[in-house]
Structure 1
Amino acid sequence: MKPALADASAATPTLLVGVDFGGEHFDSELHELGLLALTAGMVPVARISCKRKAPDPALFVGSGKADEIRLLAQQCGAREVLFDQSLSPSQQRNLERRLEIPVNDRTFLILEIFAQRARSHEGKLQVELARLQYLSTRLVRRWSHLERQSGGIGMRGGPGETQIELDRRMISEQIMRTRERLTKVKRQRSTQRRQRERSEVFAVSLIGYTNAGKSTLFNALVKARAYAADQLFATLDTTTRQMYLSEINASVSISDTVGFIRDLPHGLVDAFQATLQEAISADLLLHVVDAANEEFPLQIAQVQQVLKEIGADQIPQVLVFNKVDAIPMDRQPQAMLDSFELEGVQVPRVFVSARSHEGLSALRELLAQYAQVPSGAGHAGPDGFGVVEESSTIQDQSFR
């Protein structure tokens, strides 16, 4: 258990819970969950974790641990409990009855943040679709108003079933309408994309783990004013600008996309296809990495996983190790431009600081080289970077 540094009176005091099922990437300190909670306007007041072989079907953590969580929540004044994993509707409902305070999971938290941050019409539609899909699985007697409808002649089941069916039908209709509206937005974006393709503009997309500094780098490259902040999911809406490269006397289009995260809900991946389409149709991906974060190999792996899910894993990449100014002296890179082995492919890597603009000239030169490579060159890229036949691991040996 670790107290939060923030003032608990400013937002909802929240107890963080994590369960280790023996996975490779379990966050025992619940650091990322705490950052997500702060981003959503909550204040973590305590943290607790435990180990299990498998989730308990009824309470996810078992009755004994649930009672321990309830006692800790009372002691620290928590008014909400937040799990680092996804809960089933029945587990969530049973936990709320047992703990007597609201219980939510990681999926709900990410949806909440997305709902707060979406600014464009497209972004709001995407969040609304994902929220409705999540809500549609949690209709079984979850709210007290469902008990007001009594069973009777001509009605199947017990209290609440008619109201549940009405709610389910209403949400299904909302999902259908939202999908139709989102389809129209996708067509508009597709038209804009085809216009860029007809103009033969080289398309670059910024991707990366959330809070890696993509929007700050985007602003530095194109002198734009896209929103950037030191927080998770600061940017949700895709922004595209033209960037002039004097090295080749031509412009390229560059897009800033939503950040990826561990265990990104599949509903969000589906709902954000229009936004992520910018990455799918790009000629080059600038994979921005927080070089100051010691867990960057895990974050790179998470981004690669999402790229596979959306069908963008075969697009050439350049790794941009950002925040070089925040790297400790004993971990400073030996060279500002080298290569990095990524899933069996040697890709160029450049170290930069989007904040101080260090390394940006080298990045621009690298972009110019890629923009001159004839179409169909595939992964060859500039300077002979190509496929490594035998290895398929992520390696890094450029740090001292």
Structure 2
Amino acid sequence: MKAVIVAVNLNDKEEDFEYKIQELEGLVEAAGGTVVGKVYQKRESPDPAYFIGRGKVKEIAQLVEGIRGDTVVFNVNLSPVQISNLSKELNVEVLDRTDLILKIFLNNARTKQAKLQVELAYLQHQLPRVYGGKGKELSRIGGGMKTKGAGEKLGEIKTRTIKDRINKIKKQLKEIEKQREEQRKSREDNPNILKVSLVGYTNAGKSSLLKRLTKRDVFISDQLFATLDTKTSLIYFPDIEKKVLITDTVGFVEDMPSEIMDAFMTTLKEIEDADVILHVIDISDKNWMKKKTTVENVLKQLKLQDKPTITVFNKIDKVVPSKDLIEEDVMENTITISAEKGWNIDKLFDILKKYAKQKEEKHGVCILQNSQ
């Protein structure tokens, strides 16, 4: 994919706009593409037909032809009409921000559950576009078309086929959720098992931390949304005879598309069932505070803001050259680490042990109360 990115500034501060452009470039790279051109426009409101101005559309068309680009990517979400109009004018594939994220998800999903979740999100996002010409891409997702009669319009056929496929996927995901629910019930209220969920902005280093804590082989890549599949691993503390089940979850991103949030709700339930959350933050990222807030807002959406949380500032090795230079964390439930180098992992283990003991004590109190 040779992409021209189109960044539209709708009254954003300059620094926020630059941040969004950088993230868009990272998303293009994660989708396997290369940014070959950039076009910027500042607008107070979107144009109903193209989102950008008509003059800017012609400018982009000339640029795409001149550098032989094959894709135009917008940093905003476009309506079906805008997608259709832009595709006709530019004569190349046009993707909005959600399209791009879903393209990455389609490439990176590995397990049956992740593939179904991504397909569901993709179909729900594309469904309004079937009459705008975008629906032709859906044939590779949902299988062949079934018609009810020669007089049925192509758009109606596509719509019916997509809706049938969406319903089928939802049923399959419900079955998977039933299986997961049984697994969760078997672990519920076990005082010897601490359930931990890893959350964080995409590419914060969650997979690296999971690998370091569990000594498991985990796929790691320095790209956005490198891993989508939920992984649950076991840590055993023989000195206190406690087990920790730690689950990695899909990384979050600013303005997470609602289709993805809805489709991945089964996976996100793992966070709901956790005893404690590890919020992993890339401390070497200059935008870490903004990304921290994004994750906290997602947790609020899930009504999990009051769940016990440990803030894990990761990648400190990219900020200081030696473990000896790490300043001591003064805030409670906060720790600075390097998952790659193993710095302060022993201290993180100590924090997890503390929570494991607290769960046992709390469970013991509950048993006493119920027996009275």
Q: Normalised by the size of structure 2, how large is the TM-score?
A: 0.87
Cα-to-partner distance string for 1:109-136 (whole Å, 9 max, x where unaligned):
1111111111111111101111110121
SS of the counterpart of 2:295?
helix
- Matched-pair contact (CA < 8 Å) for 1:247–1:368: no
Structure 1 partner of 2:10: 21
Q: Specify the code of the residue in structure 1 equivalent to 2:32.
A: G
Q: State the match for 1:223 in structure 2.
A: 215
- 2:275 paired with 1:283: yes
CA distance in 2, matches of 1:355, 1:37: 25
Residues 1:326 and 2:315 are matched in the alignment: no
1:364 aligns with 2:371: no
| Closer/same/farther in 2, CA of residues 212 and 247 from structure 1, 3 Å limit | farther
Counterpart residue identity of residue 293, structure 1: D
Check whether the contact 2:20–2:75 (CA below 8 A) recurs between aligned residues.
Answer: no
Q: Which residue of 1 aligns with 2:195?
A: 203
Residue 264, structure 1, aligned to residue 256, structure 2? yes
Structure 2: any 5+ residue segments left out of the alignment? 137-150, 363-372
Query: Contact 2:252–2:295 at 8 Å: present in 1 too?
Result: yes
The alpha-carbon distance between structure 1 residues 215 and 262, as it changes in their structure 2 partners (threshold 3 A), is: same
How far apart, in 1, do the equivalents of 2:80 and 2:274 lie? Answer: 38
Q: Does 1:83 align with 2:74?
A: yes
8 Å CA contact retained: 2:81, 2:132: no
In structure 1, the residue matched to 2:169 is 178
CA distance 1:143–1:313, shift in 2 (3 Å):
closer
Alpha-carbon spacing, 1:230–1:376, altered in 2? closer, same or farther (3 Å): same
Gaps of 5+ in 1: 1-11, 146-159, 340-346, 378-400
Counterpart mapping for 1:59-208 below 5 A:
59-142=50-133, 162-200=153-191, 201-208=193-200
Judge conservation of contact 1:336–1:359 (CA < 8 Å) in 2. no
Report deviation, 1:314. Answer: 1.8
Give, as a single letter, the amino acid of the residue that structure 1 aligns with 2:346: S
CA contact (8 A) 1:351 1:359 kept: yes
In the superposition, relative to structure 1, how do residues 27 and 247 fare at CA in structure 2: closer, same or farther (>3 Å)? Answer: farther
Distance, in Å, in 2 between the alignment partners of 1:168 and 1:112 is 21
How many residues of Structure 1 are paired with residues of Structure 2 in the alignment?
344
Indicate the RMSD between aligned Cα atoms, in angstroms.
2.2
Deviations, residues 177-225 of structure 1 (Å, cap 9, x unaligned): 1100000001111111111114332110000001111001001001111
Q: Secondary structure at the match of 2:83?
A: helix
Percent identity reads: 37
Distance in 2 separating the partners of 1:234 and 1:120: 14
Post-superposition shift, 1:375? 7.9
Instruction: Provide the rounded CA distance (Å) in 1 between the counterparts of 2:68 and 2:25.
Output: 17
- Alignment-derived partner of residue 142 in structure 2: none
> How much does 1:297 deviate?
0.3
TM-score by length of 1: 0.81
Deviation at 1:23, TM superposition (A): 3.2
Question: Is 1:34 the counterpart of 2:1 in the alignment?
Answer: no
Q: Encode CA deviations 1:71-123: one digit per residue, 9 max, x unaligned.
A: 22223221110001111110111111222222111101111111111111111
Q: Check conservation: 1:28, 1:49, Cα contact below 8 A.
A: no
- CA deviation profile, 1:221-268 (whole Å, cap 9, x unmatched): 011112111111111111111112356331111111111111211010
Amino acid at match of 2:130: L
How far off is 1:28 after superposition?
5.6
Q: Give the corresponding residue for 1:391.
A: none
Structure 2 residue matching 1:294: 3-state secondary structure = coil
* Residue 292 of structure 1, aligned match among 284, 287, 300: 284
Residue 30 of structure 2 aligns with an amino acid whose one-letter code is T
CA distance in 1, matches of 2:325, 2:285: 14
- Offset of residue 46 of structure 1: 1.2
* SS of aligned partner of 1:16: strand
